[in-house]
Amino acid sequence: MADIQDLTLDIVQSIEIKAAVGDAWKAVLSRLTSENSTPDNKPMPMVLEEWPGGRWLRDLGNGHLWGFVHVIKPPNLIEIQGPMFMSYAVAGHLQLRLTQISGGTEFLLRHRVLGMIDPSHRACVTHGWDYLLQSAKQLAESGA
């Protein structure tokens, strides 16, 4: 029998970006959509419908739904609920929060999951989200 530790995942990561919050927001949305790629740099384009109830899905022609936009408050907050990359029975919540700080923006990511989480996903998810943070930072700071 699984205990609560086996059935939950709670990841919190943050990074400081030397860019205005609006520029960081654009970089994050770009990384969540057209500029998305895997940590080994393989393109993985996504679609994000930027309104409450909008979908976030992989752009595979026929689609692979990752979640629904729960909250969107540009340029500070987006929350998505759904299984994300886990194609099995889990409940997931992703929160991306951008806060203007002295010298730039703090980008905070929190991903919570409840369900029978595949051990390979548990092992790789922190690395994958770190890649998102780092690549959004690089994009925002480059001014692209």
- Model confidence pLDDT, tens digit, residues 121-143: 888 999 999 999 999 999 999 98
- Rounded percentage of the chain residues whose pLDDT exceeds 90: 74
**Using an 8 Å Cβ cutoff, are 45 and 55 in contact?**
no
Of the candidates 105, 106, 112, 75, the one whose C-alpha atom is nearest the C-alpha of residue 91 is 112
pLDDT in tens, 88-97: 999 999 999 9
Model confidence band, residue 3 (pLDDT cutoffs 50, 70, 90): confident
pLDDT greater than 80 at residue 1: no
How high is the mean pLDDT of the chain?
93
What's the predicted TM-score (pTM) here? Answer: 0.93
d(CA 14, CA 24): 13
| Amino acid at position 118, single letter | D
Q: Which amino acid is at 96?
A: L
